[in-house]
Amino acid sequence: MARGLYRLAGLPPLADPDLAIIAKRAPNAVVCLISALALHELTTQVPHEVHIAIRRSAGTPVLAHLPFRLYRFTGAAFETGIETQKISGVPVRVYSAEKTLADCFKYRHRIGMEVVLEALHAYRGRRKKDFQQVLNYARMCRVERVMRPYLEAIV
């Protein structure tokens, strides 16, 4: 799969080999933003690189030949909202849909407001949604004042 990571040739191909490699090479990293939106099926965007978050104090992971974009989070913004999903049998740490929405509002200038609004509308159409939890994460990420008008318009 990558230097130092092996897999039996007879096994079926991985659904997302980049996520599997990052999960093995950087076990403390968490999939975030557009990559997390894609995993939660909240966007039509196809991420050309894997968006990962690490602690601000952590060293940069060595992921040669893998397209990734690194974000550094601090304290509670990094630690809360982490889920583990199995992707082709590999456990991958990813932020929950609610935490990802708050993070997208925080980084709206980097990823684009149209991506954020598309994700918010897709989240509204889900059966299982928790707007109060989204607001809690927005408060923690210090984007509640920015996010609240959009949530009130959607609900």
Characterize 130-150 residue by residue with b for buried, 16 or more Cβ atoms within 10 angstroms of its Cβ, and e for exposed: eeebbbbbbebbebbeebeeb
In this prediction, residue 6 carries a pLDDT of 57
What is the per-residue DSSP string for the chain? -BTTB---TTSPPPS-HHHHHHHHH-TT-EE-HHHHHHHTT------SSEEEEEETTSPPP--TT--EEEEEE-HHHHHTTEEEEEETTEEEEEE-HHHHHHHHHHTHHHH-HHHHHHHHHHHHT-SS--HHHHHHHHHHTT-HHHHHHHHHHH-
In this prediction, residue 147 carries a pLDDT of 95
In this prediction, residue 35 carries a pLDDT of 95
- Rounded CA separation 92/18 (Å): 11
In this prediction, residue 16 carries a pLDDT of 72
In this prediction, residue 39 carries a pLDDT of 93
In this prediction, residue 11 carries a pLDDT of 60
In this prediction, residue 37 carries a pLDDT of 96
Ranges of the chain with pLDDT below 50: none
In this prediction, residue 25 carries a pLDDT of 83
The residue type found at 69 is R
The residue type found at 138 is A
Question: Counting every residue, how long is the chain?
Answer: 155
In this prediction, residue 4 carries a pLDDT of 61
